[in-house]
Amino acid sequence: MNYKALAIAFMAIAFSSCIRISFKTPPVSGDSTQNQQSVRVNSKYLISCDGIGEVKLYDTYQDLVNRYGANALTVHENNVSGNYSVIWEGQATEMTIVWKEKQEPFKNISYLKINSDFSSYQTRTGLRLGANRDDMQKANGDLSVTFKNFNDENNPGEITSFNHGSIEQSDNCIGGVIDLTAKRNIDVKELAAFNKEKTISTAHRLMDRMDITLTEISVGKSVN
């Protein structure tokens, strides 16, 4: 038996294996799918482009009555946004349903929104009511959120963009409203300049001296 030939063959196989291992493709550090945060959310509390929790954008008023009973819904008179109903009022699953129709029967949902402090709903990236600046940016893949200035005449604090972050990548139909809850150590001139800006980023330098909170989340609402 030619032991020298066998030894050479064995070394060739081992070397070949090393080559294959050493050239294994490494992960790409900037891959957006790696940076996108995702949390497990019970479908009963999930905010997505389908709807909020168990209410879907394609539901009619009668669909909701058939599933949950007439007592689950409270119909309100016309307001600026249009006719709306509140479902499960006073509960952690409470939400507002704004209808496209001006009168009954209500068959088409314009948009859904939540704004109660005790809400249990959240997006698949972890965005929920009560989120502060850091929470919002974390849910957005550590990217900033842009919103209308707090002194906007029509829709103060309305979110205008998630700047291609995780929230936009996951559900590009989600909107919201941010409120200013406190500010500190801001010079009068700085504040005057800030107030002249039409839109604000959560990465704005003055945000370090302001406390902001997400007070409304909507699905299907157009930014005006």
What's the confidence (pLDDT) of residue 32? Answer: 38
Q: Which whole number is the average pLDDT over 104-111? A: 94
Nearest to 100 by CA among 119, 73, 78: 78
CB 130 within 8 Å of CB 117: yes
Q: What is the pLDDT of residues 131-143, one digit of tens each?
A: 999 999 999 999 9
Write the burial class of residue 167 (CB in 10 Å: 0-12 exposed, 13-18 middle, 19+ buried).
Answer: buried
Cβ-proximal residues to 162 (8 Å cutoff; 6+ apart), any chain = 140, 143, 145, 146, 168, 174
pLDDT at 28 over 50: no
Q: Which structure tokens are listed for 44?
A: 């009963």
Pairing of strands 46-48, 122-123: parallel
The DSSP-derived string for 165-188 is -HHHHH-TTEEEEEEEEEE-S--H
CB 70 within 8 Å of CB 157: no
Q: Which whole number is the average pLDDT over 115-143? A: 95
Q: What is the pLDDT of residues 189-222, one digit of tens each?
A: 999 999 999 999 999 999 999 999 999 999 998 7
Q: Hey, where are the domains in the chain?
A: 43-219
Does the model's pTM come out above 0.75?
Answer: yes
pLDDT, mean over the chain: 85
Confidence of residue 37 (pLDDT cuts 50, 70, 90): low
Write the burial class of residue 13 (CB in 10 Å: 0-12 exposed, 13-18 middle, 19+ buried).
Answer: exposed
**Over pLDDT 90: what percentage of the chain?**
71
Render the burial of 62-87: b for 16+ CB within 10 Å, e for the rest: eebeeeeeeebbeeeeeeeeebbbbb
pLDDT at 31 over 50: no
